[in-house]
Amino acid sequence: MEKIKIVVVGGGSAGMMAAIRAAALGQEVILLEKKSALGNKLLLSGKGRCNLTNTEDLPNFLKRFSKNGDFLRDAFKKFFNQELISFFEQRGLKLKIERQKRVFPQSDRSASILNVLEDELVKVGVQVICRSKVVDLIVSGGRAKGARLENGRNILCERIILASGGASYSFTGSDASGINIAKRLGHVIVPLQAGLIPLDVKQNYVKKLEGLTLRNITLKFSDGKRQIISEIGELIFTSSGISGPLVITLSGKAIDLLAPDKTVFVDIDLKPALSIQQLDARLLREFKLNSKKSIKHLLKELLPLRLIMVFAAVAGIDPLKKCSQITQKEREKIISLLKGFHLEISGPRPIEEGMVTRGGVSLKQIDPRTMESRLVKGLYFCGEMMDVDADTGGFNLQAAFSTGYLAGESAALS
């Protein structure tokens, strides 16, 4: 059988897996990567530990996608979390499952994941060419025929797989250039937005709290009508707003509330385990016991040190005021702030800072059974450049690996 020549554009998780699968099926595969090395974003993933996938079952896995999860059913049927885990374990990499079913390499190093992929690329004979930015595709008669490189070189082929990623962390290489190529070829692009992103707030005083972590709190986002309530978790103040696992996870839903004419607030419940009545009783008790001490002193029992002065200022209470002088109104204000430290969301951080890109090549123009474009024959898509994105927890990388696997197999066998 004569080999088909397949060009894969982008050496991230999706592109590497696509190239491996297509070459394992006997085809001649060239992997083009614009940066000097493969897998830059993969290396950053999971804070350098790579949360590879998640062992949730399929129905619960699909629920973790912001929308469009159903599009991935065929890709997941072909190559899902257990197949991905086996892929690495069969190649000698030990994995472990942590809380919330998150899968990591036992080494706690994303480089071990990348090493396995790079070894496999060599083993199946993929020709990897780095420092090769693709600026356009050659299409004739509605068929993909090749890739045009920035250096002027054309590489002709029978199939092309675009795996060029989203539009964030552009220093890793994903700068939406592949999405723009797809657009020029007539594909609809669902507007790009940041996903899994810190949020900015209107209150300038958060600057004073930069770096402060609040543990065991809950968040309530609200636009006055709808509410999003978080589980108990952690929040970190940034120089201009809020971040941390709870914020990142709910950022997509919070952004959805932020229509142009809508104001969205977040209330931080600093004491989710205590009711208003319990807090009131506790404060009354403490005020009695510490009547000669300042409210600042008493708040140390309830709040992290760095929050106290800001908290007192927001409550409008002199921090040096004696507990015995605190009025009922002031006590009620303290309780209401403890149960709902109120901030107004001004918007997400720029897309560059998003852990994922929301939007991308419209799924209406991609066949979910093969990942082939419905507009250009012989052109396949995979990974984050498509309009799919998910929560944190290993779901995004699994989507990249699964769609890469399916695109590679379809391109090789079609």
Ligand X SMILES: Cc1cc2nc3c(=O)[nH]c(=O)nc-3n(C[C@H](O)[C@H](O)[C@H](O)COP(=O)(O)OP(=O)(O)OC[C@H]3O[C@@H](n4cnc5c(N)ncnc54)[C@H](O)[C@@H]3O)c2cc1C
Cα separation, 18 vs 34, whole angstroms:
17
Residue 45 — φ and ψ, nearest 5°? -60, 150
Cα separation, 19 vs 112, whole angstroms:
19
Q: Is 360 in the site for ligand X (CB under 6 A)?
A: no
21, 27, 31, 45: residue in contact with ligand X (rule CB under 6 A): 45
- Of the candidate spans 80-88, 162-170, 237-245, 296-304, the one that interacts with ligand X by CB under 6 A turns out to be 162-170
Least gap, CB of 87 to ligand X (angstroms): 15
Residue number with CB closer to ligand X (105 or 378): 105
Residue 205 is classified by DSSP as G
Q: Lay out the site mask for ligand X across 254-293 (x = CB under 6 A, - = otherwise).
A: ----------------------------------------
Residue number with CB closer to ligand X (378 or 394): 394
| Amino acid in the structure at residue 12 | G
Site for ligand X in 104-133 (CB under 6 A): 133
Cα separation, 218 vs 233, whole angstroms:
6
- ∠ CA 140-146-151, nearest 5°, is 125
Q: Is 81 in the site for ligand X (CB under 6 A)?
A: no
Q: Is 252 in the site for ligand X (CB under 6 A)?
A: no
Element (H, E) at 400: helix 395-413
Evaluate the CA torsion angle 396, 397, 403, 407 in order and state its sign: positive
20, 23, 42, 345: residue in contact with ligand X (rule CB under 6 A): 42
Q: Is 43 in the site for ligand X (CB under 6 A)?
A: no
Least gap, CB of 138 to ligand X (angstroms): 14
- Of the candidate spans 65-73, 158-166, 244-252, 313-321, the one that interacts with ligand X by CB under 6 A turns out to be 158-166
Q: Is 397 in the site for ligand X (CB under 6 A)?
A: yes
Report yes or no: 411 and 6 within 8 Å, Cβ to Cβ: yes
Q: Is 219 in the site for ligand X (CB under 6 A)?
A: no
Q: Is 43 helix (H, G, I), strand (E, B) or coil?
A: helix
Q: Is 338 in the site for ligand X (CB under 6 A)?
A: no
Report yes or no: 32 and 178 within 8 Å, Cβ to Cβ: no
Structure tokens at 274: 């205590």
Cα separation, 177 vs 174, whole angstroms:
7
Q: Is 66 in the site for ligand X (CB under 6 A)?
A: no
Site for ligand X in 12-41 (CB under 6 A): 12-15, 32-35, 40-41
Q: Is 72 in the site for ligand X (CB under 6 A)?
A: no
Beta-bridged to residue 414, according to DSSP, are: none
4, 6, 8, 11: residue in contact with ligand X (rule CB under 6 A): 11
Least gap, CB of 309 to ligand X (angstroms): 33
Reported in sequence order, the residue ranges of 204-313 that DSSP labels E, i.e. its strands, are 213-222, 227-229, 233-237, 241-243, 264-269
Site for ligand X in 306-335 (CB under 6 A): none
Cα separation, 10 vs 35, whole angstroms:
9
Report yes or no: 374 and 330 within 8 Å, Cβ to Cβ: no
- Which residues would be at the binding site for ligand X (CB under 6 A)? 9-15, 32-35, 40-42, 44-46, 50-51, 133-134, 163-165, 168-169, 172-174, 177-178, 355-356, 383-384, 394-397, 400
